[in-house]
Chain A
Amino acid sequence: MQGSGISVLFMGKNLLRLLGGLWVTLRISLIAVLLSIPLGLLFGMLMTLKSPVSRIVSRVYLEFIRIMPQLVLLFIAYFGVTRAFGWNLSGDTSAIIVFTLWGTAEMGDLVRSALISIPKHQYDSAMALGMSRVQTFGYVVVPQTMRRLIPLTINLTTRMIKTTSLVVLIGMTEVLKVGKQIIDANRFDYPTAALWVYGVIFLLYFLACFPISMLARKLEKRWR
């Protein structure tokens, strides 16, 4: 008799393997996020500079990264770079590079929009109170920018976590791949396993992203 699909989850190390797969995804996205935030801050400031060179360079970079599907970028980093330069990047490294490049571009654009949304009058009134340029930034501009930025950054983080599931296509064994392996291995004995395994994966993603978006909502409310 065919067993219930749910029991597949508790056989052997299946649940642990799924968690391990989730960790592959989370690790890539967390490293990429941690690199993207400081780089994006710099990139965003670069975008607000008046110099036409920095404007054009940053614009081209942003548009290039945005227009390219992340999958294409991954293929370029994983297959293309090996072909072109003979560098043999591991799946892990190429994924981190691609997601950092992407995160930096997106983060930079968030920083840029947060910076230019501070009205000129805020600078004027700070300076009229005798503040130096550094004080104006430190006490008036940056705190307001941060308040606008934190919820946006957290949203970007959840987007990055979800998008890293693409790494399965450059041969990495992340949570979806592990799930597929478990399903395939039990196809004949437990045909309903697919529902349960994918259900658990859904739940795992939810558990990873939900607290983060709750945090975003809370901060948004507090810092209207």
Chain B
Amino acid sequence: MEDKILLEISGLVKRFGSETVLNGIDLSVHKGEVVVVLGPSGCGKSTLLRCMNGLEPPTDGTVLLDGKAVTADGKKITELRQKIGMVFQSYDLFPHKSIMDNITLAPIKVQKRPKREVEQDAQRLLKRVGLWEKRKAYPRELSGGQKQRAAIIRALCMNPELMLFDEVTAALDPEMVKEVLDVILELAESGMTMVIVTHEMQFARAVADRIIFLDNGKIVENSKPDEFFTNPKSQRAKDFLKTFSFEKRKNS
């Protein structure tokens, strides 16, 4: 982790109609840092991520990437989004394109990079996650875990400075979760800056440099993972963590 702040969010408010989903979020992410966002469902985690790359325009407040405002309009936002990779829960590969074409489409058409160079990058990345043999397959021929790994590669091939993961394992069968999380762990080790929304607590503890606990659209806790998991400060976080552990009731 470096001292440089890559993403800076201040006073972020997001309302849908009369409902306030995010209510004054201040958060800065340093270059090379891995921030995991936790919280009960409906607390605004996904909305927070979507605001980070301008998929949702903020109602109030600012989101800065490298000092430039991520505002949801025009050409500037598409340029900024190229620096922010995002992977979704429902691994949205393009069903009409092969895995290789899924990965190379945006680098070639959006970034206008030469096809050969992009394909070499794609080859290197595909081999890294063990999907090189599947390059000609279509998304429907892949398992959920494979699709999600391909979606991660698709985002990585744009050479982003920041990666956002929105509950990427929530739709997967349990035995496929690990193969996807391992890829993300490896990315963390390579120094990628990431913001991760997840419900996998063990994974969160292993991968995070910092845990953000979100409740009712506010950051309730912002601490080191060990501190958060062993000694959470707020009652809300204590209650939340309790829902993931089971106590033996017999003989007690």
Interface set of A (CB-CB < 8 Å, partner B)? 119, 121-122, 124-132, 135, 139-140, 143-144, 147, 223-224
Contact = CB atoms under 8 A, between A and B. Distances in A.
Contacts, number: 63
A129 B55 contact: no
Contact of A139 (B90, B92, B109, B154): B109
Interface residues of B, number: 27
Contacts of B75: 132
A121 B140 CA distance: 16
Interface of B: 53, 55, 75, 78-79, 81-82, 84-86, 88, 90, 92-96, 105-106, 109-111, 140, 151, 154-155, 158
19 contacts: A119-B90, A121-B92, A126-B94, A127-B78, A128-B55, A128-B88, A129-B110, A129-B155, A130-B78, A130-B82, A130-B110, A130-B111, A131-B109, A132-B75, A135-B109, A139-B94, A139-B105, A139-B109, A144-B96
B92 A127 contact: no
A143 B98 CA distance: 13
A121 B53 contact: no
Contact of A124 (B84, B88, B110): B88
A129 B140 contact: no
A125 B110 contact: no
A138 to B, nearest CB: 9
Contacts of A223: 96
Given A129-B110, A135-B109, 20 more contacts: A121-B90, A122-B92, A124-B55, A125-B86, A125-B88, A125-B93, A125-B151, A126-B94, A128-B55, A128-B81, A128-B88, A129-B106, A129-B158, A130-B111, A130-B158, A131-B78, A131-B109, A131-B110, A132-B75, A139-B105
